[in-house]
Chains A and B, each alone.
Chain A
């Protein structure tokens, strides 16, 4: 799609979509939302960029090498958080008893393991959607 208006509008609203996606991810334990929806919003910004600027530029912004590493890193981070519970002598993915800092109820930095898990899920969903979209576009 080679349209000036689409390109300029995309450039203008791209940071706002990404900020909103990050907001939804890091407030996953306080407000509606979380890793899945926030990651999908963030991925939508990169999908929009690829639609407006073409596959070549889109892949330059989010190459396969980076997105595959982010994806694998997200799930390994999740599993690593789970093993903290085992090391502390509790079941897999224990939150409060395993010694995660709980913080104050209602603050962003609180709830121990939940924000970390939400960030891991968000990274995973984001890279999955982007990789699927780019892979399917490549096929044409």
Chain B
């Protein structure tokens, strides 16, 4: 029963994802939604809007600063995961434990 449920959910997800691939626009087409006026807006106005000569810095730390905050949260999550798994050895009782274990 459990396996059947898992199979149904994963199979349904597979069908949805495969169906969405057929709806994707062809690669490299001029009319694709990713080639819109935003790129030209950044090139024309970023110096005036942000006072920064580096357009990439203007985008990632001004226009999309909230996205970059999420990126730094990813770093925080990664380090929290690593330290919670293997990094518990640097507390104060470390020397005592080592002595006890020989």
Contact = CB atoms under 8 A, between A and B. Distances in A.
Given A105-B51, A113-B62, A114-B61, A138 B87 contact: yes
Contacts, number: 110
Interface string B52-85: 1110111011100110110011011011001100
What 3 A-B pairs are tightest by C-beta distance, nearest first? A29-B52, A135-B87, A93-B65
Interface stretch (A2-10, A14-22, A121-129): A121-129
| Count class of interface residues, chain A | 35 or more
Contact of A111 (B50, B60, B73): B50
Contact of A93 (B47, B58, B66, B83): B66
Nearest to B65: A93
A139 B89 contact: yes
A63 to B, nearest CB: 9
The SS class assigned to the A binding surface is helix
A132 B58 contact: no
A79 interface: yes
B87 to A, nearest CB: 4
Contacts of A139: 86, 89
19 contacts: A28-B61, A29-B52, A29-B53, A29-B61, A34-B56, A71-B76, A75-B69, A78-B72, A82-B65, A92-B66, A96-B50, A112-B51, A114-B52, A114-B62, A118-B61, A121-B61, A121-B68, A132-B79, A138-B90
B27 to A, nearest CB: 28
A103 interface: yes
Given A102-B51, A113-B62, A131-B79, A79 B69 contact: yes
B54 A31 contact: yes
Contacts of A50: none
Nearest to B89: A138
